[in-house]
Amino acid sequence: MTKYRHTIRHTTYKFQDLKTLLGMASPYRSGDELAGVCAGSYEERVAAQITLADVPLKTFLNEVVIPYEEDEITRLIIDSHDAVSFNQISHLTVGEFRDWLLSDETDTETLTAIAPGLTPEMVAAVSKLMRNQDLIAVAKKCEVVTRFRNTIGLKGHFSTRLQPNHPTDDPKGVAASIIDGLLYGSGDATIGINPATDSPAAVSSLLRLMDNIRHQFNIPTQTCVLSHITTTLQLINEGAPVDLCFQSIAGTQKANTSFGINLNLIEEAYLATLSLNRGTVGNNVMYFETGQGSALSANANFGVDQQTCEVRAYAVARKFKPLLVNTVVGFIGPEYLYDGKQIIRAALEDHFCGKLLGLPMGCDVCYTNHAEADQDDMDNLLTLLGVAGCNFIMGIPGADDIMLNYQSTSFHDALYLRKVLGLRPAPEFEQWQIKQGIIDEKGNMISIDPTHGLLGAMV
Amino acid sequence: MKRNISQEIEPLKALQEFTSARIAIGRVGTSIPLKQSLDFKLAHAHARDAVYSELDSEHLTAAFKQFDLPVLHLHSQVTARRQYLQRPDMGRKLNEASLTLLEDYFVYTDIAIIIADGLSATAVNENTTGLLKELIPLLSASGFKFAPISLVEQGRVAIGDDIGYNLNAKLSLVLIGERPGLSSADSLGAYLTYNPKPGLTDETRNCVSNIRPKGLTYKKAAKKIFYLISEAFKRKLSGVDLKDNDGLIES
């Protein structure tokens, strides 16, 4: 008989294992319904949450959601668990852990200290008991700082990835978007292009284009082409100017296999990128992207809910000390996250869970045209993430990505957030902007002079 | 106020010739100027309307008379658009009535043309007749025999597997409305599958995308599809293996 059960009036809800309990306790989203793992009623969902609240955190070290023998991410999670860091919270249940996280005594230092003692499943579990407000309040207490050519994630600072995509990777088209973005103060997290094709020659020319612009204007930032990790590895060996190594990752070994990756391959690429030693103030060289629903869409979720799968991907990210981790929350479509409400909830969960595990979380605040969402929902999410202390968002011309055909956040959106919340760019990048006459000492935008050097870059 | 806006925009304007991205749109304070904001909203409205548009079956059936082929009206298992968006699995399967209807048409043919609304019925309503006018003569001239044309409501690409199989056709050609982007709410996609049968996945198909007057024109799209179909019959396959040899096709 299962130990996971709860009676409400005359109905006893039974949950056969931890995996089932986690799925049933998840706030509703379309992807869990599609997977057939969500609660059948509102009451059953709360019964699952009440049951989950009483589960000791220690249980998560003994009962795994995907078998140890079958999944290298489960092995990574269990084998790399830090019992010493865990000690401070090892006596708590999931519910007690939620209250502990919110208490005034639990500060930034405490949270940083326990991070290695947390497993993704513990963190996913506690998030299911938390309201949006709780997710924001605890994430705000976390501080995850990473460095390459600048410093990202300091409290009071907020960065952007400049995303100058073009449908045919046309160098001039890409460059025009880069210059526009730089003049709006975008690009301190990275200047990162999603290439239209994964051909090494095309990726290499984009890398050189960005490296030239960066050198020409002495910009304290890092560049990245978001090609497959095998392409990046090949280009590193050929001597291309690779700052950051990118890869999309998921939370099960099978899903990662469908991406053409595994832990050994990431390790190889990580070491190769590290060996280039191109960072000036630090050497966090990895850039990972994730998103709820990726495991299910690869038919590789093993009956685990999509949010728990997502947090398991963070175990992969954590191993390689990334500069940036980006949850591309609304890109996957309405069969996984149906509307603005679900997208916002998922993004706050991802940000909270990542931060708690010690990751430099950013978010692609985004949606597709077949989702029930619009730019107002993105404004809401953007503002909530700003309050929560999100490390970075995307900067895309007019929020409209003409290559990937979805909507995200604009250069203007980042400026809005900095203004209403008093946030500043990465310190090194801020100084560069002042020198370039893009902002003044107070951080206000200055009108662009028609003879500005950056405008001359296209000639 | 007005003077400021134009000052902000002008120096950057020159960059616009290099990309259709929304660059050099100026700012009011730190925000997007109203005109640009409304431009964006209008594009999004077109995309949203396209997602909720419906197949104009009557008009399409009338227009297809010129091809001298029977037209079958079919429906997936999806009952409403909201369900369509959340349950792709149900959009890939025919409902009972449609399966029963197909029983009367189980006759060996070469090609089953299947037209489904997908994520933009607008794309289908506006572009299928024009495309077929170019494509059907090319295929007929090569001696290909056609199954009836299927017109499917609330369908996804893979529903062509069910239909092609139940019609006993050697190849299914699905013309379907693609997910609308801000710059195009009327893009039609063509997916061809050799030996269609239930349970196939995307790597067994070839796709020709962005078919619309301002994208890939009907004539060019028809040539591309014709080439792929001819190759599929020659090599008795479709999908990744066929794609590797399509160097002749320019996008």
Strand (E) or helix (H) holding A177:
helix A171-183
Question: Residue A177: which of B19, B32, B179 has the nearest Cβ?
Answer: B19
In contact, A261 and A249? CB cutoff 8 Å:
yes
* pLDDT tens-digit readout, A148-183: 999 999 999 999 999 999 999 999 999 999 999 999
Question: Residue B48: which of A177, A338, A369 has the nearest Cβ?
Answer: A369
Q: Which CATH superfamily is domain B57-235 in?
A: Ethanolamine ammonia-lyase light chain (EutC) (3.40.50.11240)
Contacts of A36 (CB under 8 A, 6+ apart): none
Sign of CA dihedral A352, A353, A355, A356: positive
pLDDT band at B9 (very low <50, low <70, confident <90, very high): low
B40 touches chain A (CB under 8 A): yes
B119: chain A residues, CB-CB within 8 Å: 370
Q: Measure in Å the smallest separation between the Cα of A98 and chain B Cα atoms.
A: 32
Q: Which residue, among A369, A407, A439, A452, would best test binding to B if mutated, counting the most B CBs under 10 Å from its CB? A: A369
Interface of B with A in 132-161 (CB under 8 A): none
B6 touches chain A (CB under 8 A): no
Residue A68's SS3 state is coil
Count how many residues are written for chain A: 459
Predicted confidence at residue A198, as pLDDT, reads 83
Residues of chain A under the 70 pLDDT cut: 1, 459
B10 touches chain A (CB under 8 A): yes
A407: chain B residues, CB-CB within 8 Å: 44, 182
* Reported ipTM: 0.94
pLDDT band at B246 (very low <50, low <70, confident <90, very high): very low
Six-digit token string for A323: 């500069």
Q: Measure in Å the smallest separation between the Cα of A354 and chain B Cα atoms.
A: 27
B62 touches chain A (CB under 8 A): no
Quick check: B18 and A368 CB within 8 A?
Answer: no
Q: Any idea which residue has 């966090």 for tokens?
A: A284
Q: How many CB pairs under 8 A join A and B?
A: 128
Q: Quick one: which of A50, A81, A43, A118 has its CA closest to A311?
A: A118
Higher pLDDT, B244 or B129: B129
A164: chain B residues, CB-CB within 8 Å: 21
Predicted confidence at residue B14, as pLDDT, reads 86
For the segment B185-195, the average pLDDT, to the nearest whole number, is: 95
Instruction: Indicate the Cα dihedral angle B233, B237, B239, B241, nearest 10°.
Output: -110
Predicted confidence at residue A459, as pLDDT, reads 59
Q: Measure in Å the smallest separation between the Cα of B105 and chain A Cα atoms.
A: 33
CA distance B158 to B180: 19
B18: chain A residues, CB-CB within 8 Å: 170, 172-173, 175-176, 458
CA distance A300 to A320: 23
Quick check: A335 and B86 CB within 8 A?
Answer: yes
Q: Quick one: which of A161, A53, A144 has its CA closest to A358?
A: A144
Contacts of B51 (CB under 8 A, 6+ apart): A369, A370, B81, B85, B119, B120, B180
